[in-house]
Amino acid sequence: MTVYMVERDLKGISMEALGNAQKAAISKAAEMTSNGTDISYLRSTFAPEDGRCMCLFDAASDVDVKRLNDDAGLPYHRIVPALDLTP
């Protein structure tokens, strides 16, 4: 498994919509995992001043992460491998 970072521009999003987007990512990851595609939503960081949002997923491939975000209807600019440096 590899950590992937999903970069998003969510400028102007309400906190309610942001929470709903997070729930959609978590729910879709659980659904995909139960259907045989091992993927986990890890966490997000949101900068409300400029709308940047970075979401981390643990998955076998960027294709799986792309499918999750596309199926959940979540916008993104790019998906890249990342290092999760949480202590």
pTM of the model: 0.94
Cα 23 to its chain centre, rounded Å, is 10
Domains of the chain listed by start with CATH number: 2-81 (3.30.70.3090)
pLDDT value for 64:
98
pLDDT value for 86:
85
- pLDDT tens digits, the chain, 87 residues: what are they? 899 999 999 999 999 999 999 999 999 999 999 999 999 999 999 999 999 999 999 999 999 999 999 999 999 999 999 998 988
Q: Token digits for 19?
A: 């929470």
Element (H, E) at 42: strand 39-47
d(C-alpha 28, C-alpha 9), whole Å: 20
pLDDT value for 25:
98
pLDDT value for 1:
86
